[in-house]
Amino acid sequence: TFIVNTTILALSEAGILYQQLQLNEHAQPIWTEMTFSYEQHFTNLGEKTQSQATHIKNGVVSHNGRKLFLSITNGSLIEVTELQPLRWNCHGRPPGADVSYISDAENARPGTVFTVSSTGDLYEFDKETKPSWKKHIWSEQTTKNVSLSSSVGCALHGLLGSNSVSLFLITKDGLLVERRLHRRKWKWDKHGAPKGQRLSSITEVQQDESNDATSMFFTTTTGKVFEYQFTKYTGGASSNKIRGLWVNHMSPDHAKVAASVRGLQIQVGRLIFQLDDGRLGELHLPGMGGDHFGPSQQNSIRRKLPNKYEWSILDTPETEGWNAEYCTEEHGPTNCITGAMNVAADTEPTNLSNAPPRRRKAEEKQHYLHGHSHESDETESYNILSRSIYLNFHMRVMHADRSLFLITDNGLTLEYLNSNGVWLWLRHEHITGMKGTLGSYNGSLYLVDLHGNLHIRERNGDELLWINCTAMRKGRQVASGPPWDGIPGLSRRVTTDDALFFVNKRGRLLQFTVALRKFKWKDCHSPPDTKVAFIVDQEVFRRNIIFVVGRNGRMYQYNRITELWHRHYQSPHLVLSRSPGTAMRPSPLSLTGSIFMISEHGGLVEYHFSPQDGWEWVEHGTPHRDVTLVVAPGPCFDGTQLFVI
């Protein structure tokens, strides 16, 4: 997002620049696409480019906020000088190189833009000089192999007096380097990184005049934030080397800061960082930040404040899915606006077997938990998969009240079909025996054979076809799939991004896009500390969220939009059975709901969500002391009745 002369611009993932227009004070803002014509400007250095769509990689607003510099996919630099009407110039690219990222726009030096090439070299562009492009060469022998990362830099003035300016950049190895202009001479300097860390982004901040130090903030690949402090220049120093102090601000409790994403300073002493679970974290000085603290007057923060920063979590709109950006206000599985209230209890959680839910402390419930190392026996895990698929995936409803598929113990595929009010048995022949039915979508059935290959069985007019999905491009073998194809009794809404999810024998989650028959495989990997045992629920309880149980008996979720894994809070004594589950809501538009699973000891476990209390674990035990539940729970009816075996 860019703000140029109070106009809001946004760059999409597809590389298209949009401008927000407010037609009048009562109308909703609208977004219009900004197009750059190749025919008009793209004749540079004697090369004429054919007219085609211009896609943008990144951009930086100039220091005065009046111009926008853009890097486009063909490696050229664009300067947008006016928005209404759109006026811009293409400055081409460095000789023999390209513009991979714009590191600084007229902040280090007026009229000068610093860029980084795809090979990691630093260039500067100044249209008033000849030549316009200049390359900054590593002249020192010890640093000649340093390669810069494609990221924004940070310009600081006066570190060695009023005649010095420094541009700080990050290398591809995660180290901090400085390009300094002092007494009309350019010099490289290496500052390194905190011990055991690799830097991933720089956050430039407005310096506090009451503070004796000049600072920059950095995110690391491990999800932490570091501050690099320089003491203010007092004169008299004979050395040209300056060294700062690294201050570790860590990260919010049980959360990581998103790597390679710059922070944003909202005012002196307050910075916002994106967390890797989609939430926001605020790093602020004591008493002037947090969820309920608005902007402060500048004169109120001029008093001497301690330099000890603290973290606050800003709860972006989220509920059970932590799906902050891709949601609606409608009640039901797509809702993520109505969040959980901050309700706490005076008592610690206890065994909830055969008892109504009790509230957990909100601080404990809302934590994003790091995973721990976990080793699993591959042979044991394979045997669990083999046994469970015969128990859980032998039947599948194709069309309610019309078609039911069954897989026999010897691998035959049978369909119980209602034709004009008469029930018939049909046998679907295949050269290889089938192991289970893993899903149905839009009239097609998805089955896995004895070798782990995924097949589609579907009707095309009067013909019945088999399609081998594993034989497709980048095809994968599978072991299990989602337990249910939507809510029983309700038709599934078909969208343009529909996909089925499967688990392979190695415990990785696989996505198979089925929308519009544009079949495509994707590896979603697994949680960092374990492998996936089974899918507990796919998008029945929460749109775009796949709940799974790990081979360590813990509950995880995968967000198919952000591609992030999360581990849900779970009491150490509660270990889930490695089997599927069943999701249910009292009604399709209800904000409350539950996911039912089986514990390792054969008891029924409920994971319940409500807007008042958030997530709650409830252990319902078994119907009788001598009874043990043996397979995954389900089906459920009317959102109130659950069947177990």
Report the CATH number that the domain containing residue 538 is assigned in CATH: 2.130.10.10
Quickly count: other Cβ atoms within 10 Å of residue 74's Cβ: 17
Tell me what pLDDT residue 350 has: 33
Q: Which residue range forms the structural domain that includes residue 546?
A: 382-567
Tell me what pLDDT residue 23 has: 64
pLDDT tens, 22-53?
A: 766 666 678 888 888 755 444 444 444 444 55
Per DSSP, the residues of 165-198 read EEEEEEBTTS-EEEEEEETTEEEEEEEE-STT--
Decide if 538 contacts 441 (C-beta within 8 A).
no
Low-confidence ranges of the chain (pLDDT < 50): 40-51, 299-302, 317-326, 337-380
Assigned token pair, 260: 């390679």
The kind and range of the H/E element at 379 are: helix 378-392
Decide if 327 contacts 321 (C-beta within 8 A).
yes
Domain end residue (candidates: 209, 237, 261): 261
Please report whether residue 216 resides in a domain: yes
What are the C-alpha distances in Å from 612 to residues 30, 344, 360, 370? 35, 10, 12, 25
Tell me what pLDDT residue 354 has: 37
The domain total for the chain is 2
Decide if 207 contacts 243 (C-beta within 8 A).
no
Please report whether residue 461 resides in a domain: yes
> Do you know the residue count of the chain?
645
Domain end residue (candidates: 547, 567, 587): 567
Tell me what pLDDT residue 45 has: 43
Decide if 572 contacts 607 (C-beta within 8 A).
no
The residue among 441, 452, 506 whose CA lies nearest residue 475 is: 452
Decide if 366 contacts 609 (C-beta within 8 A).
no
Paired residues of 218 in beta bridges: 202, 226
Please report whether residue 463 resides in a domain: yes
Decide if 182 contacts 160 (C-beta within 8 A).
yes
Please report whether residue 436 resides in a domain: yes
Tell me what pLDDT residue 375 has: 42
Round to whole Å and give the CA distance between 515 and 496. Answer: 5
Please report whether residue 434 resides in a domain: yes
Tell me what pLDDT residue 140 has: 60
Tell me what pLDDT residue 30 has: 81
Please report whether residue 400 resides in a domain: yes
Please report whether residue 639 resides in a domain: no
CA 384 to chain centre: 31
Return left, alpha or beta for 519; rule: phi > 0 is left, psi -120 to 50 is alpha, else beta. Answer: beta
578-592 in b/e form (b: 16+ CB < 10 A) is: bbbbbbbbeeeeebe
Tell me what pLDDT residue 465 has: 92
What are the C-alpha distances in Å from 572 to residues 164, 241, 255, 349, 350? 57, 52, 19, 12, 11
Tell me what pLDDT residue 119 has: 92
Round to whole Å and give the CA distance between 357 and 348. Answer: 13
**Do residues 390 and 250 share a domain?**
no
Phi, psi of 118 (to 5 degrees): -65, -20
What are the C-alpha distances in Å from 190 to residues 123, 141, 292? 18, 13, 41
Paired residues of 313 in beta bridges: 281
CA 185 to chain centre: 43
Tell me what pLDDT residue 21 has: 79
Three-state SS for 516? Answer: helix
Tell me what pLDDT residue 636 has: 83
Three-state SS for 382? Answer: helix
What are the C-alpha distances in Å from 170 to residues 70, 220, 360, 588? 20, 11, 43, 50
pTM over 0.75: no
Tell me what pLDDT residue 378 has: 47
Domain end residue (candidates: 552, 567, 582): 567
The kind and range of the H/E element at 3 are: strand 2-4
Phi, psi of 366 (to 5 degrees): -90, -5
Tell me what pLDDT residue 362 has: 33
Please report whether residue 449 resides in a domain: yes
Three-state SS for 41? Answer: helix
